[in-house]
Amino acid sequence: LVTAGVYVQMHTTRPIHKEDVPTGTVQLEIRSKHPALITVDGHRLGRAPVEIHVPKSATPVGISNGHMTKAVIPDHDQTIDFP
């Protein structure tokens, strides 16, 4: 039995303090040159740019801007850019 999940903490106007970030997670900053609705593994997050924290893993997550999907391995903090 394998259980997987996505913990999402969207970037807000208030700064994210280190103590607010759950341990064992990595930060993914998702940006797009054009307005785009971002989804992670099918979960709608909102319009780019978004910043999320997901569990650190060797299993890829699918990040989509509605036109293209990127498989990202969340093993370290990353910035994902869409054209």
Residue 14 pLDDT grade (very low, low, confident, very high; cuts 50, 70, 90): very low
Residue 23 pLDDT grade (very low, low, confident, very high; cuts 50, 70, 90): confident
Residue 15 has pLDDT above 50, yes or no: no
Concatenated DSSP letters for 53-79?
EEE--SS-EEEE-SS-EEEE--SS-EE
Task: State pTM to two decimals.
Answer: 0.72
Render pLDDT for 33-70 as a digit per residue (tens, 0 to 9). Answer: 998 999 999 999 999 999 999 999 999 999 999 999 99
